[in-house]
């Protein structure tokens, strides 16, 4: 049924809009109120939710996993997470050409290995890891055991490991031109990641390490940023030895929630009306502060199921509790709008500044947003994707990539499983190590997949 006077949306879509505004209004009010609440009151809400959870849901988990999960959950930042497993990290800052300060993390050595001259070349082959949307570098190391952390495993296999961060997130919330409370600070999309963040981070890493090339591993949007950057910077292809894309993102088919999917594809810029023009979902940290972690994890699970139809059965309950605490980081509303533009047009395009659809008077459109020329990428590409991942349309993706692209399917894997699944040390990490060895020279090739067992035994011994 249509509402004639009010436009093209149906009644249930107007109801969805009304409900969305109501929820956001409630969240904003609660967020404002909590600023004036004393800490004992906030702690009371936390304890009340904990008591409620224990009363209605009592579950048993392995004591060792619970112990480590609690440590990961309570870790405040990248440094705390490294300390849990005995790694010594470095922090670097990159100034992009348009004035953003990006935080880079580095794992230059194996567990417990100290360096006399931090910030210098190690002589090792270099691997650069980049996170997905609404994330930061912590997602690579917030695991309940180190053998399932790709970053730690790479360090143990003799790689110089770097982990990037997008502008606006927890480690990159600063610019020399604009403060984070201004709309100009958040006026960026995937285009800006491709033009500046990725190439400037890579250049900094190569400058510090003195390496001629590095190996790039991205997750989700971290792959999209590399696809875009490599396609518009021909010279960048000479600096990337191989690009391994985990849960690759380029032209997602859409969301599992029909109402949200239809509404956002119909008008992606409607997000600006709902969330404004700064950061998106900034209230997530508020909810995390007052909810008992298992309840917060359950809320995230339900949200992921509704939006993407992900069941997350491959991720253990305590891994969820540990990792979901480090899942969210700030991102611009504009970057999310950009994704819905891509979904609507089923094309990996640059941000469309023309928010009004052009009038089509013939069968031939007079306007088309500029697309990223991804078929021009020269760097070897490896796609590792899950056949249960609703955001990956592998055939559409392969049609937009060069013919030298390799695609490896991971059976029963969803999106986040590739980061935090129970068996990533069996199904995912060995694949990454093998492709790194395949595309590195004999002099650069390091480690062996079988040394995973030695690594695990070493951690257990300590």
Q: For position 356, what pLDDT does the model report?
A: 52
Stretches in the chain below the pLDDT threshold 50:
1-6, 358-361, 442-462
The DSSP code sequence of 305-344 is HHHH----TTS-HHHHHHHHTTT----BHHHHHHHHHHHH
In 3D space, the residue among 381, 429, 389 whose CA is nearest the CA of residue 406 turns out to be 381
Q: Which of 137, 172, 175, 220 is catalytic?
A: 220
Residue 261 backbone zone (phi > 0: left; psi -120 to 50: alpha; other: beta): alpha
389 classed as catalytic:
yes
Q: For position 443, what pLDDT does the model report?
A: 42
Q: For position 366, what pLDDT does the model report?
A: 66
- For 265, the token pair is 């594809």
In 3D space, the residue among 134, 179, 113, 55 whose CA is nearest the CA of residue 328 turns out to be 134
Q: Which of 338, 415, 417, 425 is catalytic?
A: 415
- For 30, the token pair is 């609660």
SS3 content of the chain, % helix, strand, coil (to 5): 45, 10, 40
Q: Which of 389, 417, 425, 427 is catalytic?
A: 389
Q: For position 9, what pLDDT does the model report?
A: 52
Q: For position 20, what pLDDT does the model report?
A: 57
For 434, phi then psi, to 5°, come to: -65, -40
CA dihedral 406, 412, 415, 419 (to 10 degrees): -90
Q: For position 4, what pLDDT does the model report?
A: 45
pTM score over 0.95: no
Question: 360 CB contacts (<8 Å, ≥6 apart)?
Answer: 366
The average confidence (pLDDT) of the chain is: 85
Q: For position 441, what pLDDT does the model report?
A: 65
178 classed as catalytic:
no
**Which residues are bridge partners to 243 per DSSP?**
216, 381
220 classed as catalytic:
yes
User: Exposed e or buried b for every residue in 10-45, given b needs 16+ CB within 10 A?
Assistant: eeebeebbeebeeeeeebeeeeeeeeeeeeeeeeee
């Amino acid at each position: 049924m249509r509402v004639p006077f009010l436009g093209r949306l149906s009644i249930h879509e107007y109801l969805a809009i009304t409900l969305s505004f109501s929820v956001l209004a409630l969240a904003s009010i609660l967020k404002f109120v909590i600023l004036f609440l004393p800490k004992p009151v906030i702690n009371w809400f936390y304890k009340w939710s904990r008591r409620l959870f224990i009363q209605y849901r009592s579950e048993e988990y392995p004591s060792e996993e619970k112990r480590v999960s609690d440590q990961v959950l309570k870790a405040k930042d990248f440094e705390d997470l490294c300390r849990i497993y005995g790694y010594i990290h470095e922090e670097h800052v990159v100034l992009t050409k348009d004035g953003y300060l990006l935080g880079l993390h580095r794992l230059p050595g194996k567990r417990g290995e100290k360096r006399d001259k931090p910030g210098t070349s190690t002589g090792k082959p270099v691997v650069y890891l980049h996170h997905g949307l609404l994330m930061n570098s912590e997602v690579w190391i917030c695991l309940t055991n180190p053998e399932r952390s790709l970053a730690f495993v790479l360090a143990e296999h003799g790689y110089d490991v770097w982990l990037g961060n997008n502008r606006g997130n927890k480690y990159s919330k600063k610019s020399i031109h604009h403060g984070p409370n201004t709309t100009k600070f958040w006026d960026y999309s995937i285009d800006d990641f491709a033009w500046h963040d990725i190439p400037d981070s890579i250049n900094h890493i190569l400058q510090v390490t003195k390496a001629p090339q590095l190996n790039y591993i991205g997750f989700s949007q971290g792959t999209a940023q590399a696809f875009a950057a490599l396609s518009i910077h021909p010279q960048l292809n000479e600096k990337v030895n191989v690009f391994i894309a985990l849960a690759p993102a380029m032209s997602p088919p859409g969301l599992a929630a029909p109402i949200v999917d239809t509404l956002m594809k119909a008008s992606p810029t409607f997000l600006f009306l709902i969330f404004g023009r700064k950061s998106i979902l900034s209230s997530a940290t508020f909810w995390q502060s007052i909810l008992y972690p298992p309840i917060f994890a359950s809320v995230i699970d339900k949200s992921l199921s509704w939006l993407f139809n992900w069941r997350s059965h491959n991720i253990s309950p305590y891994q969820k509790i540990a990792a979901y605490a480090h899942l969210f980081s700030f991102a611009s509303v504009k970057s999310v709008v950009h994704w819905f533009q891509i979904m609507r047009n089923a094309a990996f395009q640059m941000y469309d500044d023309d928010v009004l659809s052009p009038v089509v008077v013939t069968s031939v459109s007079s306007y088309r947003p500029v697309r990223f020329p991804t078929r021009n990428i020269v760097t070897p590409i490896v796609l590792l994707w899950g056949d249960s991942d609703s955001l990956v349309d592998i055939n559409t993706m392969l049609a937009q990539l060069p013919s030298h692209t390799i695609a490896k399917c991971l059976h029963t894997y969803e999106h986040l499983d590739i980061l935090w699944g129970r068996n990533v040390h069996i199904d995912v990490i060995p694949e990454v190590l093998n492709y790194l060895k395949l595309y590195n020279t004999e002099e650069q090739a390091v480690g062996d997949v079988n040394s995973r067992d030695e690594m695990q035994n070493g951690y257990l011994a300590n």
